[in-house]
Structure 1
Amino acid sequence: MKIAIMQPYLFPYIGYFSLIKNTDFFVFFDTPQYIRKGWINRNRILSANGDITYFTVPIQKADRNTPINKIIVSNNYDWKMKTLGQLNIYKKAPNYGRVIDLVKGIFNTDTMLISDLAIKSIVKTCEYLDIDIKYDIFSKMNLALPEVKEPDEWALYITKELGYNTYINPPGGMSFFNREKYQINDVDLQFLVQEIIPYRQNREVFIPALSMIDVMMFCSCNEINEMLCKYKIER
Structure 2
Amino acid sequence: MRVGIIQSCYLPWRGYFDFIASVDLFLIFDEVQLPNRHDWRIRNAIKTPKGRRWLTVPIARTGPPQRICDTPILTDRPWIADHLALLEEAYASAPHYDRYIEPYRAILRKGHGLLSALNRELTLWLMDELAITTPIESSEPWGEPGRKTARLLSILRAVGATRYLSGPAAADYLDLEAFRASGIGLEYKTYDYAPYPQLWGAFAPAVTVLDLLFNLGSEARHHLRSRQPDTVVLPPAPAFADALARRSS
Q: How does 1:109-128 map to 2 (within 5 A)?
A: 109-128=110-129
Asked which structure has the greater CA Rg, the reply is 2
Equivalent position of 2:21 in the other structure: 21
Matched residues, number? 230
Q: Residue by residue, what CA displacement relative to the aligned partner does 1:175-216 show, whole Å, maximum 9, x if unpaired? A: 222222111101100011021221111233111121111111
Equivalent position of 1:213 in the other structure: 210
The two structures, once aligned, show a CA RMSD in angstroms of 1.6
1: distance between equivalents of 2:162 and 2:110? 35
1: distance between equivalents of 2:173 and 2:195? 29
2: distance between equivalents of 1:183 and 1:82? 48
2: distance between equivalents of 1:223 and 1:211? 12
Equivalent position of 1:104 in the other structure: 105
Q: TM-score scaled to structure 2, two decimals? A: 0.87
**Which secondary structure state, in structure 1, belongs to the residue aligned with residue 200 of structure 2?**
coil
Which protein has the bigger helix share? 2
2: distance between equivalents of 1:110 and 1:79? 11
11-20 vs 170-179, which moves further:
170-179
- Segments of 5+ residues of structure 1 without an aligned counterpart are none
Q: 1:131 to 1:197 in 2, by over 3 A?
A: same
1: distance between equivalents of 2:223 and 2:46? 22
Q: 1:102 to 1:231 in 2, by over 3 A?
A: farther
Q: Residue by residue, what CA displacement relative to the aligned partner does 1:119-142 show, whole Å, maximum 9, x if unpaired? A: 111111001111103011123x2x
2: distance between equivalents of 1:113 and 1:27? 18
Equivalent position of 2:146 in the other structure: 148
| Per-residue deviation, 1:111 | 2.3
**Which secondary structure state, in structure 2, belongs to the residue aligned with residue 59 of structure 1?**
coil
2: distance between equivalents of 1:56 and 1:200? 25
Q: 1:161 to 1:100 in 2, by over 3 A?
A: same
Q: 1:105 to 1:225 in 2, by over 3 A?
A: farther
2: distance between equivalents of 1:90 and 1:226? 19
Amino acid at match of 2:146: V
Q: 1:225 to 1:156 in 2, by over 3 A?
A: farther
Equivalent position of 2:45 in the other structure: 44
2: distance between equivalents of 1:223 and 1:60? 34
Amino acid at match of 1:72: P
| Alignment pair present for 1:61 and 2:61 | yes
1: distance between equivalents of 2:228 and 2:18? 8
Q: TM-score scaled to structure 1, two decimals? A: 0.92
Equivalent position of 1:138 in the other structure: 139
2: distance between equivalents of 1:64 and 1:86? 32
Work out whether residues 193 and 225 of structure 2, in 8 Å CA contact, stay in contact via their aligned partners in 1.
no
Q: How does 1:88-103 map to 2 (within 5 A)?
A: 88=88, 89-103=90-104
Runs (4+) off by over 6 Å: none
| Alignment pair present for 1:177 and 2:174 | yes
- Segments of 5+ residues of structure 2 without an aligned counterpart are 234-249
| Per-residue deviation, 1:226 | 4.0
Amino acid at match of 1:155: L
